[in-house]
Copies of this chain bind each other. A is one copy, B any other.
């Protein structure tokens, strides 16, 4: 007896944009900006979609607000990631080694940079640098484990 059924697969879209600036440092920074900026924008999109579904109303104003927020947060995530990736690459070149200390130093430096750029000063920059360094180290360790 013949049987019939439906089989389907769900594939995530594969988009890979590669921009070659001719400089490995810039390449990484741009790549980090684009990829992680996209993740940040997707996060806002998911959040706003959830909000709309939850409240049950979608208006033009809300979509515009969501788009603006996506651009803003995407740019922020992208910038932070670009700075981090660039700084880690720089630290790796200077130290000539590739270990978790690069992540720590890179995290601390980029934390301080981002904090200074957000017009914090003094103590706050140092604290942000410590936190960012610790988070980067923790992420590096978590990498080895997963």
Contact = CB atoms under 8 A, between A and B. Distances in A.
B146 A88 contact: yes
Contacts of A47: 127, 130-131
Interface in A104-146: 106, 123, 126-127, 130-131, 133-134, 137-139, 141-143, 145-146
Nearest to A41: B134
Classify chain A's interface size: 35 or more
A101 interface: yes
A77 B35 contact: no
Interface of A: 12, 28, 31-32, 35-36, 39-40, 42-43, 46-47, 50, 54, 77, 81, 84-85, 88-89, 92, 101-103, 106, 123, 126-127, 130-131, 133-134, 137-139, 141-143, 145-146
Given A31-B145, A103-B146, A141-B36, A130 B85 contact: no
Contacts of A106: 146
Contacts of A143: 143
B131 A43 contact: yes
A16 to B, nearest CB: 11
Contact of A39 (B35, B101, B141, B146): B141
A98 B145 CA distance: 13
